[in-house]
Each structure stands twice: as C-alpha cells, then as structure tokens.
Amino acid sequence: MQRLTCRHISKKYEGKAYALKDVNFSVPAKGIFALIGRNGAGKTTLIRILATQLTPTSGAASIDDLDVMKDAPRLRDTIACVPQEARAINWLTPRQFIFSYLLWRGFGYSKASKRTTDTAKKLGIEKYMDMASRKLSGGMKRKVLVATVMASEADIIFLDEPTTGLDPLSRAELWETLVKLKEDHFIFLTTHYLEEAEKLADMIGILDGGKLMALGTLDQLRGKVKYPYSVKVLDKSNVEKPEVGDMITGVDGIKQIVTTEKQARKIAKQLIDKGVRFSISPLSLDDIFYYIVKKPIEEENYDDEKEWS
C-alpha cells in the first residue's frame, strides 16, 4: 500500500526558476522517509505542498488517497508538521505549548491535558514540562516540538530538518525519539546529516535542483550507483584511475576510487603492497549522495515512475 504519492509535481515561485520539476514518486505506508538534498534543492517546498500549505504550479499529490489540495481540510486531521524555522513559544512552558496546540487542533480540555502528560512521559521530558521554554536548550526545544506533533492524533508527521544545529548527543537523543515515533507514525523528514538518514530512514529520496534524482532503501540506492564500492586513499600518495571505476577527489582533498567490489579488492591488494594507507567499504550514503549529485547515475534507471513497496 502506498501512503503518499506525488504525481508530476512542479512548483515555480513568482519571478523564480522552478523549485520543483516534475517530481514523481510513491512511498509505502510505514517507517521513516528521509528527503536529502543541497540547500535550495526544493525539500521545504515539497514538504509544504504535501502538508497542504502551498499549492503546486502543476501536478498533484495524495496521502492515503486524499488529494492534498481538494481534500486538504480532511487531511489536516491526520497530518502534523514541524516547519524548518519552527520554535516553541518562549513565554509558554512546554506543557502550555503542547496543551494549546492540542486545543487548537480540536481536542477537549481533559483529553488535551491527558495527551500532553502521556506524551511527556513517553519521551522522558516530564522534568522540563513546567520550565519556561526560553530556559531550555536548543535540543530540548526541538524535542518539545516533536512532542507537540506526537501528542496530536496525526499519524503522518512532517519534520523539516528536525536536528539542525543540535550537538551530537542531543541529535542522538532526538533520533531515539524518532525511532519511538515511527512505531505508530509515518515520518517524512528532511535532513542535511546523511548519517541521520542512513541510520533512521527506511527509504531515502535524493532531490537536486528540484528534481528527484534517486529513491529507495540504502541498499537500493547503492545498487543503482554504477560502482557500489569505495576505496579511500588516506594519505597523499599518488594513485592512478582504476581500469574499472572512477576517481573522485572530495572537498577534503581525499582521493576516492569508486568501483566494483572485485576491482576494489584488487586495488586494495595493490595499495597494501605499496604501503599506502586506505579504507575500503561499500558506499556510504555520503558517498552515494556525492556521486549522484555530482554525476548523474545511469539514465535508464530513472525513466520509469519511481515506486517502491
């Protein structure tokens, strides 16, 4: 069953080039979908369209067979969104903030109060619930926002860069929260931390220049890249371009050979003989992303409508 479907979505802001170009894909019902892409790739634009906040220039999208434009009022009961720039209101405590959000969504007083308390317990944030939000750390504030959407009855949650700006520990804590959240919600998130997408996402989409460049599980993405193995040359030794594969120089100046598994093993043997320091592994999402946005993968993989189940 497909939970969310985009059919040829394009979006052009007034006086600007297209922010989204013919985005066409479906995502199944469960887990976490992570949309990754450079600044300006169109991630927020797509989230806003799916969360019924923005009208596309052309194309259509549906969630649970409800059209995001025609059925927006009905859909809003089942979705909740934490926008990229969202902040908890400073002069409210988390309890007041979550409670007011639930009232605004139409819950009665006693149900809103109970859901607020239960969610705080579930996320282990009870001790912060009555502190002024302005006194909370950035990580706690983000957690409060996630708690807010979690407390609602929405079972589809959009989170636009929920962990941006968090230190590694706070980020890991929020990851735990998201793993709990995905037990009974479908989460659509965007992130610039590819490790986050790699760890959390059941499915990943790569957006670049408004186009969906790739979609699939990590393994499926790896399978779509021409060369799924990586040999990174860790010192400044001179290495030649392999017979099969490509050589990429990262922004850090590190040379990386992407190639087949067989060729990678052969190169590894040669590097050992030469005493060159290197690492060898299947491509990480970082590598895949770099490869895909720098160098389009074989066109034939992307002719059809993208659909996974």
Ligand X SMILES: Nc1ncnc2c1ncn2[C@@H]1O[C@H](COP(=O)(O)OP(=O)(O)OP(=O)(O)O)[C@@H](O)[C@H]1O
Q: Does 13 bind ligand X (CB under 6 A)?
A: yes
Round to whole Å and give the CA distance between 43 and 41.
6
39, 110, 238, 309: residue in contact with ligand X (rule CB under 6 A):
39
Mask 62-101, x = binds ligand X (CB under 6 A)? ----------------------x-----------------
| Residues of this chain that bind Mg ion (CB under 5 A) | 43-44, 84
Output the smallest distance, CB 22 to Mg ion, in A: 20
Output the smallest distance, CB 27 to ligand X, in A: 18
Helix axes 109-123, 168-181, angle to 10 degrees: 130
4, 41, 112, 129: residue in contact with ligand X (rule CB under 6 A):
41
Measured from the CB atom, is 64 or 161 closer to ligand X?
161
Sign of CA dihedral 267, 271, 272, 277: negative
Question: What single DSSP character describes residue 277?
Answer: -
Question: What single DSSP character describes residue 253?
Answer: S
Measured from the CB atom, is 43 or 306 closer to Mg ion?
43
Are residues 285 and 292 in contact, defined by beta-carbon separation less than 8 angstroms?
no
Sign of CA dihedral 270, 230, 263, 257: negative
Round to whole Å and give the CA distance between 79 and 134.
27
Work out what residue 228 binds among ligand X, Mg ion, none; the CB cut-off runs from 5 to 8 Å by kind: none
Work out what residue 41 binds among ligand X, Mg ion, none; the CB cut-off runs from 5 to 8 Å by kind: ligand X
What are the tokens at 303? Answer: 């002719």
Q: Does 43 bind ligand X (CB under 6 A)?
A: yes
